[in-house]
Structure 1
Amino acid sequence: MTKNHPGNFVTNKSRYVYILLGLIINLCLGSVYSWSVFRKPLEQLFKLSATESSLPYMIFLVFYAILMPLTGRVLDKFGPRMVSILGGILVGIGWILAGFSNGLIYLILGYGIIAGTGVGIAYGVPIAVSAKWFEDKRGFAVGLTVLGFGMSPLITAPIARKLIEMYGPLLTFRILGVVFLIVIILLSIPLKFPFREVTTDEGFKIKKDKLSYSSSEMVKTKTFWALWFCFVIGTLSGLMAIGISSPVGQEIIKLSAEAAAASVSVFAIFNGIGRPFFGWLTDKITPRFAAIFNFSLMFLASFGMLFAKEGMTLLFMITFSLLWLSLGGWLSIAPTATAQFFGTIHYSKNYGILFTGYGAGAILGNLISGKIRDIFGSYTFNFYITAILSIVGILIALFYLKPLINQK
């Protein structure tokens, strides 16, 4: 506090606890990225095709994306604590119900719809909290907050794999569901938005954000649609890679199930690193050039996978690490760009609307990857598509992803 203005603002130190809380909550929510570990056991248990085994994951991501904009409209009204607790309850219930499935329909209902809805409700809460507490370093703070979501498979994939070996996939769903239920609820209790001015790490008060684009104003701008299409491309390629990581490792590179699961944990590190790294990069070089760099990495990774064959473990590790890194980057570029381009006053609603691009990417990515595997008998053909899309993304970012000038 200052001598002249006691009580007008809170110090910078106390706000860092919200990054830690958000990181751990996202660690639970991000367990969806471990889905590839469940696919083979579920295919064997319920006699599912590659397309069918991708459906619970796809539906999860769809409901996750649909609920984001809806939650953004009520977050400021009900506050982050209540919204996050509600999301945590649904996440836990969804995983537990998936554990009592006797076929694909019940997996979709429990895991896909209920748990996906829970993540859609809870996911945006820690991001909005960090964005409002750290207006002086939004990209880096948001990146650290969502680090847990990207790093989740590093912890949840090997744990899930071990539990599946011991108890099977269904009991594993139940065990993890109970854990997520308890952890998310407990860590949601301290969440709140700042109600006074906050200081930077240097002790200066953050200036009030003058940008104030409402949702209706935002969607009328070229910048929004450029950002939305870039988000679709980035998430389509990244989510496709995440959903097929373990199967590609086993079917193309001929890794064992254990080695493929271990590789998912390694990829999760890059997904996690991509979030604070691209958040920091977006602060430094603008969303436009951060996006171009991201798509360039995606192109190199996709091109490399076109030459992947049995035994090329190093190539597999490098290319998929880059794809996971790129997806992690978009989960920082998109929210940071939303705040930079359109302000933080309507941030919860605005980012919720932008996040529908994630849903579009999830649907297209999973449908494409499963269908191509079923039709051509290999996942390799997916990477022709992601290579082309990354070039399209570079062009969109280069010509249209610019700050708004009299676009209202």
Structure 2
Amino acid sequence: MDRNVYILLGVLMNICLGSVYSWSVFRKPLEEALDLSATQSGLPYMFFLVFYALLMPITGRYIDRYGPRVVAMVGGTLVGIGWLFAGFSDNLPMITIGYGVIAGSGVGIAYGVPIAVSTRWFEDKKGLAVGLTVLGFGMSPIVTAPIARRLITHFGPFVTFRVLGVIFFIVIILLALFFRFPNRKEKEPNEKISEEINGSIQNFTPSEMLKSSTFWYLWLCFVIGTFSGLMAIGISSPVAQEIVKLTPEMAALSVSIFAIFNGLGRPLFGFLTDKISPRYAALINFAVIFFSSLGMLFVKEGSKLLFIMAFCMLWLSLGGWLSIAPTATAKFFGLLHYSKNYGLLFTGYGVGAILGNLISGSVRDISGSYMFNFYITSILSIIGIIIAFYGLKQLRKS
């Protein structure tokens, strides 16, 4: 089978896994159905992202041990169970357990599989391959947000959870059957090219990586980038409805538009990370966050174009970090322990998810508006530029 097929399989699986980015479509209906505050309606989303991030480092070692097929099937099963559990719940704690803990864990288990497979098949084009593979995760709301919005309108949020749970379970399990790592003969041509390009890169064990300052600078950059992006994703639909005064249907459509840019950010910044280094790709990304946040400070009722432009760029920035981070891990620390190393770095995503969700919801509940969040992201982007410029550099073992 042609190696490009594995990218396609990864895209399709990630469309299912990335449905979390459509969560803002569920927020208003759940707030109305269960009388929730803005902070409360963000809890299932936050727990999903936290358990997604927690399971990544734990699962990395099992992908190598049991193979991508088995790990993906386990993850897909938990995703389906979690969505169904949420669909049969009638209160926030149970929804949080089903959607947040169980489905989030399932995504954490399955997410690393397409990435690990892509990096093995495309050792000569790691950044671009990873970026294309996770394209589906970022662009998932193009498919899932309108479907969820339509189902919610006709059947309510709980039936929607059940329907999507069944679909995701079936699709992920079927796709998992085709995943595998290349054998030695299939790998050799790409290894030769990779060695010519990356011959000076050394392989760091997880413990060696954790002792390096470069890892912690990269981790901090990842936290800032995911904080800004995940915060924006979690409040996209409420901001559209409350500040710009779009209808729920138009808000859901805008989420689909944003998802295109989230998806495009992945191959774009994967390509940039390959061509101009993780440092300069990160600098460009933080500049995008800064100017997008600045633009949002001028948004008011009716400012549709400015709102769409700013949020497109914020979604693009998050997509970018989900290519910069894994590609930088491979470039800085090698491929030998890649699954474990990237899993450890991915904990930064969990920290960004917790902070982004809690702060954005609290700001809304305290001030009555989501707008003050963009002062925070603009300041953090400047801090990110400083960290990336001085800290993201190739290192050598002593």
TM-score, L = length of structure 1: 0.95
Measured after TM superposition, the shift of residue 15 of structure 1 is 1.1
Q: Distance in 1 between matches of 2:94 and 2:51?
A: 16
Whether contact under 8 Å (2:121, 2:190) holds in the other structure is no
Indicate yes or no: 2:303 matched with 1:315. no
Letter of the structure 1 residue corresponding to residue 292 of structure 2: A
Residue 32 of structure 1 is matched in structure 2 by 20
Residue 125 of structure 2 is matched in structure 1 by 137
Indicate yes or no: 2:79 matched with 1:91. yes
Q: 1:149-187 CA deviation, whole Å, 9 max, x = no partner?
A: 000001100000000011110000000000000000000
Whether contact under 8 Å (1:136, 1:200) holds in the other structure is no
Select 1:213's aligned residue among 204, 221, 226. 204
Per residue, is there more helix in 1 or in 2?
A: 2
**SS of the residue aligned with 2:211?**
coil
Residue 387 of structure 1 is matched in structure 2 by 378
Q: Distance in 1 between matches of 2:278 and 2:185?
A: 26
Q: Distance in 1 between matches of 2:188 and 2:365?
A: 53
Indicate yes or no: 2:351 matched with 1:363. no
The number of residues matched between the two structures is 395
Measured after TM superposition, the shift of residue 205 of structure 1 is 5.2
Letter of the structure 2 residue corresponding to residue 186 of structure 1: L
Select 1:100's aligned residue among 68, 73, 88. 88
Whether contact under 8 Å (2:124, 2:191) holds in the other structure is no
Letter of the structure 1 residue corresponding to residue 61 of structure 2: R
Structure 1: where are the runs of 5+ without partners?
A: 1-12
Q: Distance in 2 between matches of 1:110 and 1:79?
A: 27
Indicate yes or no: 2:234 matched with 1:243. yes
Whether contact under 8 Å (2:122, 2:190) holds in the other structure is no
Indicate yes or no: 2:275 matched with 1:284. yes
Whether contact under 8 Å (2:60, 2:112) holds in the other structure is yes
**SS of the residue aligned with 2:171?**
helix
Whether contact under 8 Å (2:294, 2:378) holds in the other structure is yes
Q: Distance in 1 between matches of 2:187 and 2:64?
A: 22
Q: Distance in 2 between matches of 1:160 and 1:257?
A: 12
Whether contact under 8 Å (1:271, 1:325) holds in the other structure is yes
Q: Distance in 2 between matches of 1:187 and 1:165?
A: 30
Q: Distance in 1 between matches of 2:385 and 2:24?
A: 29
Structure 2: where are the runs of 5+ without partners?
A: none
What RMSD in Å do the two structures reach over aligned CA positions? 1.5
Measured after TM superposition, the shift of residue 74 of structure 1 is 1.6
Q: Distance in 2 between matches of 1:77 and 1:199?
A: 18
Q: Distance in 1 between matches of 2:175 and 2:251?
A: 32
Measured after TM superposition, the shift of residue 69 of structure 1 is 0.2
Measured after TM superposition, the shift of residue 206 of structure 1 is 4.2
Select 2:296's aligned residue among 271, 286, 305. 305
Q: 1:309-330 CA deviation, whole Å, 9 max, x = no partner?
A: 1100000000000000000000
Measured after TM superposition, the shift of residue 47 of structure 1 is 0.6
Measured after TM superposition, the shift of residue 193 of structure 1 is 1.3
Select 1:113's aligned residue among 98, 101, 118. 101
**SS of the residue aligned with 2:325?**
helix
Residue 253 of structure 1 is matched in structure 2 by 244
Whether contact under 8 Å (1:33, 1:152) holds in the other structure is yes
